[in-house]
Amino acid sequence: MTREKLNDFKFFRLPLIAALLPIFASACTGKNGVEIHGYVADGYEEVRTEFIRNFERRGEVGAACSVFVDGKPVVDLWGGLKNETRGETWEQDTVVRVYSTTKGMSLIVLAKMHSDGLLDLDERISTYWPEFAGNGKEDITVAQLVQHKSGLVILSRPVMVSELENFNELSKLLENSKPLWEPGLRQGYCAATLGLFEQQLVRRIDPKGRSIGQYFREEIAEPLGVDFYIGLPEDMNPGRLAELQMISPSPLKGLINLHKPPKGLAGQIINQKSLFNQAFFVIVDDIGDPFRELSYEEPSGGGVGDARSLAKIYGMLATKPEELGITPETLSLMTDFAPPAEEGYLDAVMGFESHGSRLGHLKPDAIFDFGSESAFGFSGTGGSFAFADPDYGVGFAYVMTKMDYYGINDPRETALREALYRSVLRQQGAER
C-alpha cells in the first residue's frame, strides 16, 4: 500500500439526514434479508458492499462502520440486530461496549494533558503520585506504563466492578502492587490494569481533579458532540445499548478456534493459568446488569459508543488535531513507534510481537498491517477497531455485537478496512 499523503481530496457535502442523499438510499436489504442503513459517499460504495457481505458470508449479526476522510464523513453504515435474543434491530443511535478500543480514547485524555503541559511521558509516575513508589515501582515512567513495559500486568487480588469508583481504596491496592519483571526489561500487555493506573494519574494531574470519564466527557465528547462514554451517564436510555454475544471462555471453544488468533496468542487463550488469562480477568463483574456495570468507569475496557463517534475523533486527530487541543509534539508521540523493551517486541502476555506508539496506541506492523506508518489506534476483544491515519486523513471505526476469537485482523473489520483503502487509492488516482 502506498504511503503517499492524499492531496486536495474532494468530497460531497453530506446532508445530515441520510434519507435525502442521492448517493445511497437510507436502507437497503441484503440477500439474507438484513436491512442496512446509512450512507456512503460517491467512490466508497465498495465499503458498503463489504459491510453487506459481512452479514451474508461472515456471520455478522449487528454492526456499524464509519469513516471520515479529510474531516468529512464518507461512510456511515449500520444494520442487523442489536439484540438477537429479542430480535431488536440496530438503530442509528445504538451504542455498544468496545472493550479495549476504549484504551485509545483514554490515551487521548493523556495526550491532551501532555499538550497542556501537565504530563511528561519521561517523568516518573511517583513524581505525580508519590505513594506509587515502592515494591520496585519508584522509577517506572509514564512512558513505560502506557507502552506496557512496567510489568504491572496483574494485582494481588481481583478488582470488583463495584469498586472502580472507590478511588481511595483502589489507590492503596495499586500502590502495593509489584511488577512481574524489572520495568523496561520486557513488554507485557496490561489488559485491565492500565486503565486503573491511568485513572489515578489523571485524577492527580488534572487541576480540577476529574476522573478519566469526566475529563473525556467535558473536554472531548461534549465539544465534539460525539456519543462515546467511559462510564455511562445516568440519563442514558438502556434500550440504546446493544447486547454483545460473548466469547465462550471454555478451553474446548478455544481449541476449535485455534486457527483464528495470531500465532502465540492461541496457546495463551486455551491455557487457563496463562498470564494472558490472569491479565484479562483482573476486573470481575459483581453487578450482574450490563447497563449498570457500564455506568462505572473502566478506562481499559468499559467504553461505550458508536462507530461514527470513534471515527470522528480519530478523523480529527488525522486532520485537525489542534481543534482537539493536541500539539504537533504530542501528535508525534501518537504517530511515532515506541522503542522496544530490552528483550524486544515480543509481548510476554499476548505471546506474539506487537508494536505501539510512544503514547501507547497500537501501530501497524507485519502481523497487524493497517494504514500507513503514521496510523495509530486500538482494537477491542471480539473484533472492534478504530484508528487514525494522518497520511491519508482517515478516521475509521468498526463496532459489532457478535464477538470472535481473532484478537486482531477479524475478517469482518479487515474487509471493511481494505475496501476503504482501495477506495481512497482510486480517489487519489482520479485526482491526478
> What is the residue-wise DSSP string for 370-428?
-S-TT-EEEE-TTS-EEEEETTTTEEEEEEESB--S-SS--HHHHHHHHHHHHHHHHHH
**pLDDT of res. 202:** 98
Beta bridge partners of 402: 245
Q: Which residues of 285-314 are buried (b: 16+ CB within 10 A; e: fewer)?
A: eeeeeeeebbbbbbbbbbbbbbbbbbbbbb
Spatial distance between the Cα atoms of 298 and 129, rounded to a whole number of angstroms: 20
Helix (H) or strand (E) holding 283: strand 283-284
Measuring CA to CA, which residue among 43, 124, 3 is closest to residue 374?
3
Over range 404-423, report the average pLDDT: 96
pLDDT above 70 as % of the chain: 91
What rounded mean pLDDT belongs to the chain? 91
In this structure, what C-alpha cell is assigned to residue 198?
A: 491511568
Grid-cell match 501537565, residue found = 118
**pLDDT of res. 76:** 98
> What is the residue-wise DSSP string for 332-349?
HHHHSBPPPBTTBSBBTT
Residue 248, classed as helix, strand or coil, is: coil
**Whether the predicted pLDDT of 180 surpasses 70:** yes
Q: Of residues 403 and 248, which shows the higher confidence score? A: 403
Whether domain 1-432 has CATH 3.40.710.10: yes
* pLDDT grade for 20, boundaries at 50, 70 and 90: very low
CA atoms within 13 A on the CB side of 380: 32
In this structure, what C-alpha cell is assigned to residue 421?
A: 483503502
Cβ burial of 93 (10 Å; 0-12, 13-18, 19+) is exposed
Cβ burial of 212 (10 Å; 0-12, 13-18, 19+) is buried
* pLDDT grade for 12, boundaries at 50, 70 and 90: very low
Q: Kindly report, residue by residue over 344-354, the tens digit of the pLDDT.
A: 999 999 999 99
Q: Kindly report, residue by residue over 289-338, the tens digit of the pLDDT.
A: 999 999 999 999 999 999 999 999 999 999 999 999 999 999 999 999 99
Over range 378-394, report the average pLDDT: 97
Helix (H) or strand (E) holding 228: strand 228-230
Cβ burial of 400 (10 Å; 0-12, 13-18, 19+) is buried
What is the DSSP secondary structure assignment for residue 176, as one 8-state letter? T
In this structure, what C-alpha cell is assigned to residue 358?
A: 510512544
**pLDDT of res. 271:** 83
Over range 114-124, report the average pLDDT: 98
Q: Of residues 2 and 269, which shows the higher confidence score? A: 269
Over range 397-406, report the average pLDDT: 96
Question: Cα dist. 382→11, 131, 379, 408, 424 in Å?
Answer: 33, 36, 9, 9, 27
Over range 88-116, report the average pLDDT: 98
102: left (phi over 0), alpha (psi -120 to 50) or beta: alpha
Which residue stretches of 219-335 are H helix? 222-224, 251-256, 265-270, 275-280, 290-293, 307-319, 328-335
* pLDDT grade for 169, boundaries at 50, 70 and 90: very high
